[in-house]
Chain A
Amino acid sequence: MILVRFALTVSVLVASTALTGCARETERSKGSSGSAQPSSGTSAGTTTLTIATVNNGDMIRMQKLTDEFTVANPGIKLEWVTMEENVLRQKVTTDVAARGGQYDIVTIGTYEVPIWAAHNWLAALGDLGPDYDVDDLLPTIRDSLTVEGKLYAAPFYGESSMLMYRQDLFDKAGLKMPTAPTWSFVADAARKITDKKANVYGICLRGKAGWGENMALLSAMANSFGARWFDMEWKPQFNGAEWKTTLQFYVDLMKDAGPPGVSSNGFNENLAMFQSGNCGMWLDATVAAAFVTDPAESKVADSVGFALAPDNGMGKRSNWLWAWSLAIPASSAKQEAARKFIAWATSKDYLALVAGKQGWASVPPGTRASLYANPEYQKAAPFAKMTLESIKAADPKNPTVNPVPYVGVQFVAIPEFQGIGTAVGQQFAAALAGITSVEKALDNAQKITEREMKRSGYGKK
């Protein structure tokens, strides 16, 4: 009988849910259609902005400073949707492409901006106010977010990649890290430092398959070896000698001086290992500098040094460029309020606000030249100079030794790249794990890319 009663309760619940759901929906649609009637939880004249963002430290800090914005702008309320990067990308892309209008501000990267702007999915930002100082934005970052002369997204934080290393291990081995090392120096040093019995590995690099995982590292690394994704006719280049050298070098280096299970390591796995003292060097995002030098989290905080990403003397280094940026979907009905928020969150005043509350080391890096000229910031962030140099050294419009038809350092800014990049990344991860040979992996990568590019109609013109 208890179960029968339970079933009855459920049916009542269902009915009431359906009814409240419907009622709430009617109320909501009234509210969003701009009528003066109050909608649930908001008073007349209040605009609620739904902001989709990634779960990274700088964004969480922004979320916690919500009140600072809403007090200054009483007519605007903020709703946050924080998600892991891949989940967010899928959700936001579906909504923006289907013009669902669920988000008023989206956090996207330098990969999405040129593609989305070309599809008219984004509203150009236009004028962000007299105090915004758009010329203060770092030129390489600003260029990545500009399409046909119009800024489509404002950078919230920018990053490149650089080499982090353990000064104590280098001293012990009698090595000295140059400011701008070459790959051959890095490989030699990594092999010398490695002490597998003590769980110390010369170098930690990404190995996990994915266009934003191992392919971010390998594409940027390949640039310094003279390799490129496509030639000017959009023909894939994996069958060339440059890619063979790159991949062989990477696989050999990781076999000799990398940690075990490297083909499943991404940013976080390497971060955990570096912080626990298991890595001699680590080439990854510049934002990692703040984590590895934080004594609360890192065992090696006081012995970390920084250097530019390695090169091979061919004029291109192995560093990438990325900026998490705020943009307004064309489908948003609240673009004016959204613009106000973006101007606030990416302004110089916001940087000062975060510095005042949590110190200069917590300020979102990599977007404004004025931040790097600030002596207080330089003092609080010993990695500031190297971050700026790394960002400046990346050139998304001219990323490779030989000319290419695409934009992007560690990616190719075409819609097909997410799929191709991940499929190629799986081949390279298999080569790293020893499941397949370097030659076979490159051969497969070439075939996959050729097939997809043919299917998408590239190179026919």
Chain B
Amino acid sequence: MSSRVFPKRKLIFTVVGWLIGITLFFPIIWTILTSFKTEGTAIAMPPKFLFFDWTLENYFEVQDRSNYLQHAMNSVVISLGSTGLGLLVAMPAAWAMAFSPTKHTKNVLMWMLSTKMLPPVGVLVPIYLLFRDFDLLDTRLGMVVVLMLMNLPIIVWMLYTYFKEIPGEILEAARMDGATIGKEIIYVLAPMAVPGIASTLLLNVILAWNESFWTLNLTVTDAAPLTAFIASYSSPEGLFWAKLSAASTLAIAPILVMGWFSQKQLVRGLTFGAVK
């Protein structure tokens, strides 16, 4: 662990690291900067980077026209709800497939993944009709269920991969000591798979937060999350970049902050088992 890094090499790595980081982050910085411009400045050519008249008018306008807090609350509930529900369903499924595999386990996994290969619009009308008949249109419950179903294959796959890394012998030992299945999962499996579960959770919260097809098509007002909030600021006739940027900044702020605080878990989870 104590390998020495030469200062020159270290410098190059740092510079390259920062360059990549800034390149990846540039669209977000640009969005945030644009949100402080007037509509006229936002389209100005050549573009203005930092030296323009900073204004908060777009944020006031967005606050005035939309109920941001309601949209944000819907996003929180829908993304956390769908991920949590997904974990409850996927944990036993992944446990069974990882520790008691049959000769069809691989096929079942592939089949689950194949459901992600159908473009969502292909099932829009049937799902819309089901939602209409079950009175689920424009409800948070409906969105939690549909996003859980959309992300379930990913959750199962991720958990399955993490569980595979845990030696089955440890679970056997727990069983020998008299642990029930429930205790085995809660006290032995879960603590060992925490990094994996955490990164699955975080990744799926982000996926559900950003999901825009179902959240746009199945909600109207009551359950409309931040995706609908952003979509309402794009316009075919008239300038809208600055207002849209303000709406986008408000929409990504919570998830950006969450990602910042949990990046350690995210990175640990995503690289879990990469080095043996």
The chain A residues found within 8 Å of chain B, CB to CB, are: 3-4, 6-7, 10-11, 13-14, 17-18, 20-22, 24-25, 28-29, 50, 52, 54-57, 60, 63-64, 79-87, 90-91, 94-95, 98-103, 212, 266-268, 271-272, 275-276, 278, 285, 287-288, 291, 296-297
Contact status B77-A50, CB under 8 Å: no
Contact status B240-A55, CB under 8 Å: yes
Does B31 interact with chain A (Cβ within 8 Å)? no
Known contacts A3-B194, A83-B231; 12 additional CB pairs below 8 A are: A4-B191, A10-B84, A17-B141, A18-B141, A25-B136, A50-B221, A55-B235, A81-B228, A82-B232, A83-B228, A91-B216, A297-B40
Contact status B233-A55, CB under 8 Å: yes
Task: Known contacts A4-B194, A60-B65; decide if A13 and B237 are in contact (CB<8 Å).
Answer: no
Task: Known contacts A13-B84, A94-B128; decide if A21 and B239 are in contact (CB<8 Å).
Answer: no
Selected contact of B137 from candidates A17, A102, A271, A297, CB within 8 Å: A102
Q: How far is the CB of A294 from chain B (nearest CB, A)?
A: 10
Contact status B220-A271, CB under 8 Å: no
Does B159 interact with chain A (Cβ within 8 Å)? no
Task: Known contacts A4-B194, A98-B129, A98-B132; decide if A285 and B237 are in contact (CB<8 Å).
Answer: yes
Does B123 interact with chain A (Cβ within 8 Å)? no
Task: Known contacts A14-B85, A94-B217, A276-B45; decide if A84 and B235 are in contact (CB<8 Å).
Answer: yes
Contact status A267-B198, CB under 8 Å: no
CB-CB under 8 A from A63, the residues of chain B are 65
Contact status A55-B81, CB under 8 Å: no
Q: How far is the CB of A352 from chain B (nearest CB, A)?
A: 23
Q: Which of A13, A52, A84, A271 lies at the interface centre, i.e. has the most chain B CB atoms within 10 A of its CB?
A: A84
Contact status A21-B43, CB under 8 Å: no
Selected contact of A87 from candidates B87, B136, B216, CB within 8 Å: B216
Contact status A25-B88, CB under 8 Å: no
The 7 closest A-B pairs by CB, nearest first: A21-B141, A14-B84, A84-B234, A272-B43, A82-B232, A10-B84, A55-B235
A285 to B83 Cα, complex, angstroms:
46
CB-CB under 8 A from A212, the residues of chain B are 236
A–B pairs, 17, beta carbons within 8 Å: A3-B194, A13-B77, A13-B81, A14-B80, A17-B140, A18-B144, A21-B139, A24-B222, A25-B141, A54-B236, A91-B216, A91-B217, A103-B220, A278-B45, A285-B237, A291-B238, A297-B40
CB-CB under 8 A from A272, the residues of chain B are 43, 45, 239
Selected contact of B239 from candidates A103, A287, A297, CB within 8 Å: A297
A322 to B64 Cα, complex, angstroms:
30
Q: How far is the CB of B272 from chain A (nearest CB, A)?
A: 13
Contact status A287-B237, CB under 8 Å: yes
